[in-house]
Amino acid sequence: MQLTLADIYSAAKVIRGVADGTPLVPSPFMSARSGADFLLKLENMQPIGAFKLRGALNAVAGVTEARGVTCCSTGNHGRGVAYAAGQRGIRAVICMSELVPQAKVDGIRALGGEVHIAGRSQDDAQAESRRLAREEGLFEISPFDDPLVIAGQGTIGLEILSARPDITTLLVPLSGGGLAAGVALAAKAINPQIRLIGISMDRGAAMYESIRAGKPVEVEEIPSLADSLGGGIGMENRLSFPLCRDLLDEIVLVSEDEIYHAMQVLYYEDRIVAEGACVVGMAAVLSGRIKLDGPTATIVTGRNLDMPTFTRVVTGQHVQLGDITVKGKPYAA
């Protein structure tokens, strides 16, 4: 399927009044540090606490004949699908790996979604979701490789450029590519000169490794402060991989130490509680990996984080992530 700007405008009509119109606010600290207007698109203010509601609402609205819906998720897509299915009064079964924080599992159940825990990777969870679709007649909604999901996420790009048409750079957290593909498609269609940069963690970045290889590849899923960016892109990826490959101008990777510091910055300077995945764009700028040449926006993708881990970060304590320890330090600008 060839996605176009018209599909994103159609998605904007579907989600209107439920998942649109999140604030776009300046970050005085990041503006001063980067030398350019720096804006935060607050998708953490969505009803489910994450941008994934946009794509989920658009995709579930397109389901006509099924006993319910299913998906694999690292957390936020599952919340979105459970919320959207609840609005429709249909069953939602969310498949997740053992690596997903318990807070995200609990959040999905609170929205009425059923949770199936399968294996230790997003690929294992996806296999379970496909089994449910095949054996129980559920409609599977990919977290990133679905045209309606991508179009829904692309509405963020529409809103940013409607509010600030002078934006020269968009910094987009990059995982399976649904967000980056949708936002890049919208932004490049409106302004072909705009710079789109995808940012991920430097361990287990599936889209980055796939674009380097020229095809979808499997990566080991590793614990990260940016846990929402974990997981593969699917070996049969049809949409988000080619869109990210063709539309992203650059991909930048940041370390766990840099994510840790950026989480502190967002909390202490902007007073925002948000997931590690939200701050990778800030981390790339603060570390000097990205230089800005004009007004810039990044997406604060969600707030559904593990609060004990967040507390350790903002109070400067060590955080254990699998086989590595991120050494804590008190916040200092």
Predicted confidence at residue 1, as pLDDT, reads 67
Beta strands 38-42 and 24-26, pairing class: antiparallel
Which DSSP helix (H) or strand (E) runs through 152?
Answer: helix 147-163
Residue showing tokens 């984080």? 305
Low-confidence ranges of the chain (pLDDT < 50): none
Q: What is the pLDDT of residue 268?
A: 98
Could you tell me if 183 and 312 lie in one domain?
yes
Look at residue 331 and tell me if it is in a domain.
no
User: Are residue 236 and residue 119 in the same domain, yes or no?
Assistant: no
pLDDT of 72 reads: 93
Is the same domain home to 166 and 293?
yes
CA atoms within 13 A on the CB side of 177: 29
Domain hosting residue 70, numbered range:
52-140
Whether residues 130 and 238 share a domain: the answer is no
The tokens describing 187, both together, are 């932004």
| Residues 119, 18 share a domain | no
Query: Residue 297 falls within a domain, yes or no?
Result: yes
In the chain, beta strands by DSSP E: 24-26, 38-42, 68-72, 91-96, 114-117, 139-140, 169-173, 195-201, 250-254, 296-300, 319-321, 324-326
